[in-house]
Amino acid sequence: QQQVKQSPQSLIVQKGGISIINCAYENTAFDYFPWYQQFPGKGPALLIAIRPDVSEKKEGRFTISFNKSAKQFSLHIMDSQPGDSATYFCAAPRDTGRRALTFGSGTRLQVQP
Amino acid sequence: AAGVIQSPRHLIKEKRETATLKCYPIPRHDTVYWYQQGPGQDPQFLISFYEKMQSDKGSIPDRFSAQQFSDYHSELNMSSLELGDSALYFCASSLQGADTQYFGPGTRLTVL
C-alpha cells in the first residue's frame, strides 16, 4: 500500500510551460517531504525538500507547495526545459520517527521542445 | 564534491547464485540505506545501518543480508538469487539524524 500517492503518472509539457506534480500522504506525523529527480539508469537526485512548518519553498525554477490541512504537497517546475525530462518521485519518512523513505509511484515528465 | 560510490555498477548472475554489492558513503556520512528499484517502479527500502548497527529494516528478503563496517562502507549480500531479484539496487548515505539522503549511481543486477 502506497503511503504517498502521486499523480499524474505521466505528464507532457511544452517548453517554457509549468509542470505540476501532486502528492498526498496519510500520516500527519510525517515531518519531511523531499522530491527526487531520476534520469534513466541513474540514481535519484534530491531536488528540493520541505517541512510541514512552511507552506512554500522555492529553489530556482522549482517550488514545493505544502497544504498541511489537506495532507498534500506539490512540485511546480516553472519554465520547463527539455533537460527536465525525467521521472520525479515525491517521498516521505516511511514511518513516524524513521528516516528511511517511502516513495510515490513516480511521474514521468516529458518536456517537448 | 564526493558522492556515494557503488560497485559493481553492473552484475549478471545465474539463478541460485550469490551476489555482493558494495556501497561507499560520502565521507563522514555514518548512515547507509539500501533500496531496491524494479523496472518502472519506485525505490523500495530494504535496510539501513548506523555505526555498524542495523537501524531499520524494510522489505528485505531473508535471503539477503547486509552489514556496515568500521569505515562506514556497507555490503549487501544476496543468496539463492531469483529472477525477481533483477533490479537496480541503490545505496544512499546521510549523517545520523539528518533527513537528506544522497543516492549512489546504483548497481544493476540481472539474474538469468
pLDDT digit string (tens) for A67-104? 999 999 999 999 999 999 999 999 999 988 889 999 99
Torsion angle of the four alpha carbons B89, B93, B97, B98, in this order, in degrees rounded to the nearest 10: -110
Tell me the shortest Cα–Cα distance from A104 to chain B, in angstroms: 7
Do residues A50 and A64 make contact, with C-beta atoms less than 8 angstroms apart?
yes
- pLDDT for res A96: 82
Q: What integer best gives the mean pLDDT of chain B? A: 96
Chain A residues closer than 8 Å to B30 by CB: none
Residue A100 contacts B where some CB pair is shorter than 8 Å? yes
Chain B residues closer than 8 Å to A101 by CB: 33, 35, 43, 45, 101
pLDDT digit string (tens) for B10-59? 999 999 999 999 999 999 999 999 999 999 999 999 999 999 999 999 99
The CA distance from A1 to B73, in Å, is 31
DSSP of B80-110: S--GGG-EEEEEEEE-TT----EE---EEEE
**Cell match 522530491: residue?**
A35
C-alpha B96, offset from chain centre: 17
Do residues A74 and A8 make contact, with C-beta atoms less than 8 angstroms apart?
no
The CA distance from A74 to A45, in Å, is 17
- Closest partner CB to B45 (pick from A36, A46, A94): A94
A interface test, pick of B24, B37, B42 with most A CB neighbours within 10 Å: B42
- Closest partner CB to A99 (pick from B35, B99, B105): B99
Residue B1 pLDDT greater than 80, yes or no = no
The CA distance from B64 to B102, in Å, is 23
Number of Cβ within a 10 Å radius of residue B45: 21
The CA distance from B3 to B9, in Å, is 14
- Closest partner CB to B102 (pick from A46, A89, A100): A46
What's the rounded mean pLDDT across residues B83-112? 95
Identify the closest residue of chain A to B44 by CA–CA distance.
A102
First to last CA, chain A: 36
The CA distance from B78 to B99, in Å, is 28
Given an 8 Å threshold on Cβ–Cβ distance, is A101 in contact with B104?
Answer: no
- pLDDT for res B96: 84
